[in-house]
Structure 1
């Protein structure tokens, strides 16, 4: 099925050709016709499967057919991080380059709000924003949402979590009751699936279970105190290839990046505390080869999309199986081969076993000469085989709070 099989304007097809999109991906084949017809859609597909273009193309087509007066946005896209906001804006701009250009405004934190308010003074056709900054803009009377015809929650699994629930509720209350709503994510697991169904009970649901990307996974056992030394050896073996290293905290990212710099690696940390200009420079330096290694937390890395990123290393294990999937999905994109390595110390063995169980996989444990592990699990973990922080199948108190917040948001979204 070629892109010409969709009812897309020749200007959009020309942009698709310019971007070397050869054939629609599975998520694009399923989602584009439904979105073009105005259906609510909940769609899940693996990272790197083309989800952004799957909603950008039909939204641009609908805007082209009925552009509105430009005084207020007809499309609102919400994302959890500023990097993702910038990526989606770039995709919209690239795909609309041959159209009568829509005015697309990005709103995200970490920078002064004043330029964003100035950009919105003359109105906008589409706003792409993080929830917190959008609320700041609304508090400054910078935009009206009463003309929004389509709401997109991209990385919806993150947006439906507790940290965004109150912000999302406030935003939904300001939107027209009659509108199209689109939820896109790589995963809709557990309680988040329930929240999505509460928000969109009649949506068309798409789940693309494509062949797994070509990612070789390794699990290496090492004592906690030797992880940094082993990481240096693994980085040296990559012969200068770009590597993304995941850690559990912002402080951990800064400390590990400095340690790698002292060992002669071209490394930098990526965290939410960096100014936007600095964050963009770090990503650009990784892409152009100035940097070899980025050390990042889960949230900071959510927006990283680097072509041909060969290696991902879990220095600290992720908290959940979903985060593991998102992490390793940074490599092995667009048909490229990838390598994902997890460093497992004594106290994280049970944690990784549960990740494997939930993802229905089993990796052989490796031990590296010179780094043979000697540590044993702490007494508490050895006695209980603790899950190390992975949520169980029964709803926790936090899950119940999320469900209540999403139910309230869904109620606010329904017409009176």
Structure 2
């Protein structure tokens, strides 16, 4: 099957082919026809399999065939949980729309709103946004949702995890009742399916891989390491392996900064990316990592979604996530688009329960290794009880029940 066979215009097919794609991925083959038919979609696919093009291409096709050349109200809204993901999605929109008369924009926090307001006043057909900044702009009457035809929630589960339920509820309340709704994510929990029930209308479910599965070409390796020797062991792996591009995940911002400093002292170029960094610093760090100016990017889970780094060979879980689904998203940064990748996890005694939960989610036993000189001699018990009351950023996290109640209080859907 070709992209032309899916019903896309010559202009869109040309743009896709210029990016090097000739055959649609499974998620694109399954989702695009339903979206073009105007149906609501609940789609789940492994990260790195073309989800973004799966909703971008049919939406662009819709806009080009129904556009009023004299009037440009906002008609398509894409909501994402993080700035990095918003920027990545918008890059895709621009690349795929290069041969059609469609205006797009992206808005997120961390930067001044003046230029965003100026762009919106000029008229845009499709807007990619994070919820917080979008509501700020709406409150300033810089953007209207009254003519929205298509709403897309990308990585909706992460938006709930990050506490955006109330913002989502508010944004949706301002929209027309009649619209097409698309939900795309790498995973769908029971809570997300319940959320979908309140937003989607007779949706078509599309799934191209078992939920919470990882790319087949990603190899998983676990090292049992003493907590105090994790930094030393990370440096050993990077130097002895002569690795030139590694994404390392920590659970906290402070931990990311601390590890970055120690890597630099060891003569390894590195930068940290997390919520306390300015948008300028985050953009610079990501750019330097992509063009190999720095070897190591140390990130919190804010970067687990939205980072598209072609052919990234290695991901290291310096600390295991306390939410098992986040493991899937972290290692989804490698092994993208069918490429091979390696996911390495450093596990101390406090994290053994996290490993068990990840294995249960994946339905796969992760083989553990012990390296002489780094044996785990710490005996601290698992920290599950303490971590359950906190999210990835160290703040008290809403329970899933609280989140669902908030999102369930509909106004004008």
- The bucket for the TM-score relative to the shorter chain is over 0.9
Give SS of 1:11's match: helix
Q: CA deviation at 1:191?
A: 2.1
Map of 2:238 onto structure 1:
235
Asked if the contact 1:173/1:413 (under 8 Å) is kept, the reply is yes
Find the counterpart in structure 1 of residue 55 from structure 2.
55
SS at match of 1:377: coil
Give the deviation of 1:201 after TM superposition.
5.0
Per-residue deviation, 1:162: 6.1
Q: In the aligned structure 2, how far is the partner of 1:81 from the partner of 1:349?
A: 29
Q: Tell whether the 8 Å contact from 1:348 to 1:388 is kept in structure 2 after alignment.
A: no
Match of 2:23 in 1: 23
Distance in 1 between residues matched to 2:246 and 2:360, nearest whole Å: 27
The answer for the alignment partner of 2:65 in structure 1 is: 65
**Cα gap change, 1:413/1:311 in structure 2, threshold over 3 Å: closer, same or farther?**
farther
2:308 counterpart SS class: coil
Deviation at 1:352, TM superposition (A): 0.9
Residue 412 (structure 1) aligns with: 411
The aligned residue for residue 222 of structure 1 is 225
Q: Which is further off, 24-33 or 277-286?
A: 277-286
1:64-143 matched pairs, under 5 angstroms: 64-68=64-68, 69-100=70-101, 102-143=102-143
Q: How far 1:400 sits from its partner (Å)?
A: 1.1
Range with bigger deviation, 153-162 or 40-49:
153-162
Does the CA-based 8 Å contact 1:28-1:53 persist in structure 2?
A: yes
The aligned counterpart of 2:323 is 320
In the TM superposition, structure 1's runs of 4+ consecutive aligned residues that sit over 6 Å from their partners are none
Counterpart residue number, 1:207 = 207
Q: Distance in 2 between matches of 1:386 and 1:120?
A: 45
Aligned-residue offset at 1:173: 0.7
Cα deviation code 1:189-232 (max 9, x no counterpart): 23222222333252111111178330111111111111111111
Q: CA deviation at 1:75?
A: 0.4
Cα gap change, 1:193 to 1:237, in 2 (>3 Å) = farther
SS of structure 2 residue aligned to 1:3: coil
Aligned to 1:250: 253
User: What SS does the aligned partner of 1:146 have?
Assistant: coil
Could you tell me whether the CA contact under 8 Å between 2:73 and 2:147 is conserved in 1?
A: yes
Native 8 Å contact 2:120 2:142 kept in 1 = yes
Unaligned stretches of 5+ in structure 2?
A: 390-396
Question: Once the two structures are superposed, what CA deviation does each residue of 1:219-270 show, in whole Å capped at 9, x if it has no partner?
Answer: 1111111111111101113313200000011111111101110111000000
User: What's the TM-score once normalised by structure 2's chain length?
Assistant: 0.93
State the distance in 2 between where 1:178 and 1:337 align.
43
Select between 233-242 and 191-200 the one with higher mean Cα deviation.
191-200
Cα distance, 1:123–1:62 mapped onto 2, change above 3 Å: same
Cα 1:237/1:225, change in 2 over 3 Å: same
Residue 259 of structure 1 corresponds to: 262
Instruction: Select between 146-155 and 122-131 the one with higher mean Cα deviation.
Output: 122-131
Q: Describe how 1:305-384 pairs up with structure 2 within 5 A.
A: 305-378=308-381, 381=382
CA root-mean-square deviation: 1.8
For residue 187 of structure 1, what is the aligned residue in structure 2?
187
Name the counterpart of 1:152: 152
CA distance in 2, matches of 1:25, 1:359: 23
When structure 1 is superposed on structure 2, of 127-136 and 63-72 the one drifting more is: 63-72
Checking the alignment, whether the CA contact within 8 Å between 1:214 and 1:337 is kept in structure 2 is: yes
Q: Distance in 1 between matches of 2:51 and 2:398?
A: 32
Secondary structure class of the residue paired with 2:255: helix
Native 8 Å contact 2:224 2:369 kept in 1: yes
Instruction: Give the 3 Å change call, closer, same or farther, for CA 214–413 of structure 1 in structure 2.
Output: farther
Q: CA deviation at 1:370?
A: 1.4
Q: The residue matched to 2:182 in structure 1 has which SS?
A: strand
Deviations, residues 374-411 of structure 1 (Å, cap 9, x unaligned): 22233xx4xxx9577479xxxx9711111111211xx3
Secondary structure of the corresponding residue to residue 372 of structure 1: coil
Cα displacement (A) at 1:108: 0.5
**Kept in 2: contact 1:151–1:180 (CA 8 A):** yes
TM-fit CA distance, 1:56: 0.6
Deviation at 1:126, TM superposition (A): 1.0
Q: What's the CA shift string for 1:152-188, capped at 9, x where partnerless?
A: 0011111234610111111001110100010000000
In structure 1, stretches of 5+ residues that fail to align are none
SS of the equivalent of 1:334 reads: helix
Contact 2:304–2:329 under 8 Å retained in 1: no
**Aligned equivalents of 1:187 and 1:349: distance in 2?**
23
